Amino acid sequence: MAAEGKHKNAIIETIKTVVIALLFAGIFRTVFFQPFWIPSGSMKDTLLIGDFLFVNKMAYGYSYASCPSLRIARLGINIDASDICGFMDGDNTRLMGSEPERGDIIVFRHPVHGTDYIKRLIGLPGDKIQMKDGVLYINEAAVKLEEDGIFTETYAPQGPVQNRPSCENGPVGNGAKCEKSRSIETLPNGVRHDILNIRDQSSDHTGVFTVPMGHYFFIGDNRDNSLDSRFPQAAGGVGFVPFENLIGRADRVMFSSAGRRMMYFWTWRPDRFFKALD
């Protein structure tokens, strides 16, 4: 009987340990840092498909969007952040909130369907944003652009979704060089970052977007392959993003893998481990 009692106590203690560990992990993920895996090429070449990073949730304070969502389609699990922290939704404010800076790379919740996106913050409340012939204008002034050669990658399936990249020199065959023109863009506050060009398209020629108070305007660095604030939400775009939908700031790539699975070590990109983001 004594042995049986010890066995039961050991099981109970193990369960307690697991529950406490999960609780602390949940608190850490909710309050401090959230892991994020780059699924698409909209932020190339700043972020590549397969980059893994932690998002700093302390950067802008906390709102309902700070709570994690849990979606596992094959298990029928769909727990949204609003299901847990919905009591904080609706006022477009944040607890211990601080304003983001132009040029920050930010993970945010899509204003309509709640999916997590990562883009670069371009427009602040009250700004007038426009694209003219592929050049970004902020408050009627063109940003500074410097040509910076060619970004080259292999035309092949990338990441878990196995999407193929778009090429400025396309169409090209499987395994061939896929090229995009690269420029360095300097924002009004001095933030410099790479942007890529693929083709001339409608998102290179827009009307003027006036950013409402309490909202922000985001664009991907891979300018011709990004559904962002240049596109209305009804057309699958992002539109203007409320302050409360910001999740956190991305500062550094922790790990990177070019393959379908993280553990395919032969596809790892060691040169991107712990890489600071501009």
In this structure, what CATH number is given to the domain that contains residue 79?
A: 2.10.109.10
Domain contains 189: yes
pTM: 0.87
Domain contains 7: no
Domain contains 6: no
Active-site residue list: 42, 119
Q: How far is CA 39 from CA 51, 74, 163, 243, 274, in A?
A: 8, 19, 10, 24, 18
Residue 114 has pLDDT above 80, yes or no: yes
Contact 170, 189 (CB under 8 A): no
Higher pLDDT, 108 or 7: 108
Q: Provide the domain limits for residue 271.
A: 32-276
Taking the CA atoms of 246, 93, 186 and 218 in sequence, report the sign of the dihedral they define.
Answer: positive
Give the mean pLDDT of 103-123.
Answer: 95
Domain contains 27: no
Domain contains 124: yes
Q: How far is CA 219 from the centre of its chain?
A: 11
Give the mean pLDDT of 206-210.
Answer: 98
Domain contains 39: yes
- Number of structural domains found in the chain: 1
Domain contains 163: yes
Give the mean pLDDT of 146-166.
Answer: 94
Q: What are the structure tokens assigned to 241, written together?
A: 């993003």
Q: What is the pLDDT of residue 25?
A: 45
- Asked if the peptide bond before residue 171 counts as cis, ω within 30 degrees of 0, the response is yes
Cα–Cα nearest to 204, from 97, 117, 131: 131
Domain contains 4: no
Higher pLDDT, 153 or 32: 153
